[in-house]
Amino acid sequence: MDLLIDYVTLIGFGPTGWGWQLARATFLTISVSACAYLAGLVFGTLGAWGKLSASRAAHGVTDAYTTIIRGVPDLLVIYLFYFGGSTVMTKLGQMFGASGFWGLNGFMVGVLAVGVVSGAYQTEVLRGAFLAIPKGEIEAARAVGMGRLLMLRRIIGPRVLRFGLPGMGNVWQQVLKESALISVTGLAEIMRQIHIGAGSTHQPFDFYVTGFLLYLALTTVSGQLFRWAEGWTLVPERRAA
């Protein structure tokens, strides 16, 4: 019982507790993951468009992108953006007359690096979802005289959402867990914050278990949200049946 009280004091919101820091760290994890996921959606959409396009060049570029990114550890991609980013920024700064060292902050590095990685996976999910659309639906849309944009909005968009959402949910879980790697840049998200807490209180186990529970809560709740969204995309089909 004492152990439990000690633990709650440690992670609670009291004067000696780490509650506020952990809450802020959780918020940072959620926001960096969400931004990276959205960045990934942009890369993924471009990637899927390139992979499906008739252009040889676009196909080659996107193929190289997904092959390289999916074959290389995410940690290396984060290092590339973290160190490479500061080199580029410093050069850019010198070009505009600023001297000294410039760098990308951890948040930006995280969004870019995890975004590029998740974009490669989202490319494949979106491509698969597009290919799952029955040919007849597209022909029908064309036959009633829909323009390309209208067809994208009314037919392709909803169908890709419906077929791609389960895969997109998996990528989101992956992004959430990958966000822990951004801690190497010093960004105080959950992983970094509990590492700091563990070091300064000499109670590493308590802190790592707390982090464990926080991540479990995040993946469980967001997984449920995605399942709920999947049900929602099925509504029109149920109505039609």
Partner 1 sequence: MDFDFLGDTMMKLLAGVPLTLQLTAISVAIGAALAILLAVLRAVSRPGEYFVRFYVFCLRGTPLLLQIFLIYYGLGQFAFVRESILWPFLRQPYWCAILALSLNTAAYGSEIVRGGLQSVPAGAIEAARAAGMSKLLMYRRIILPLALRQALPAYGNEMVIMVKSTSLASIVTLMEVSGISYAIISETYRALEVFLCAGSIYLVINFLITRAVAAVEYRITPHLRPVST
Q: Please report, as ranges, the residues that interact with partner 1 according to CB under 8 A.
A: 67-68, 71-77, 79-80, 82-84, 86-87, 173, 177-181, 183-184, 191, 195, 198, 202-209, 211-212, 215-216, 219-220
Q: Nearest distance from residue 147's CB to partner 1, in Å?
A: 40
In terms of CB distance, is 141 or 168 closer to partner 1? 168
Q: Nearest distance from residue 152's CB to partner 1, in Å?
A: 32
Nearest to 171 by CA among 214, 220, 114: 114
In terms of CB distance, is 155 or 209 closer to partner 1? 209
In terms of CB distance, is 158 or 186 closer to partner 1? 186
C-alpha to C-alpha distances, 2 to 6, 85, 102, 198, 204, nearest whole angstrom: 6, 48, 49, 20, 18
In terms of CB distance, is 62 or 179 closer to partner 1? 179
CA 132/CA 150 separation, integer angstroms = 19
Assess contact for 11 and 19: CB atoms under 8 A.
yes
Crossing angle of the two packed helices 157-178 and 19-52, in degrees rounded to 10 = 140
Q: Nearest distance from residue 199's CB to partner 1, in Å?
A: 9
Amino acid at residue number 69 = I
Residues in the chain: 241
Q: Nearest distance from residue 181's CB to partner 1, in Å?
A: 6
Nearest to 47 by CA among 38, 60, 37: 60
Q: Nearest distance from residue 210's CB to partner 1, in Å?
A: 10
In terms of CB distance, is 49 or 83 closer to partner 1? 83
Q: Nearest distance from residue 33's CB to partner 1, in Å?
A: 11
In terms of CB distance, is 90 or 233 closer to partner 1? 90
CA 150/CA 84 separation, integer angstroms = 41
Q: Nearest distance from residue 75's CB to partner 1, in Å?
A: 5
**Cβ contacts of 108 within 8 Å, gap of 6 or more:** 85
Q: Coil, strand or helix: which one is 16?
A: coil
CA 125/CA 70 separation, integer angstroms = 13
Assess contact for 107 and 192: CB atoms under 8 A.
no
In terms of CB distance, is 141 or 175 closer to partner 1? 175
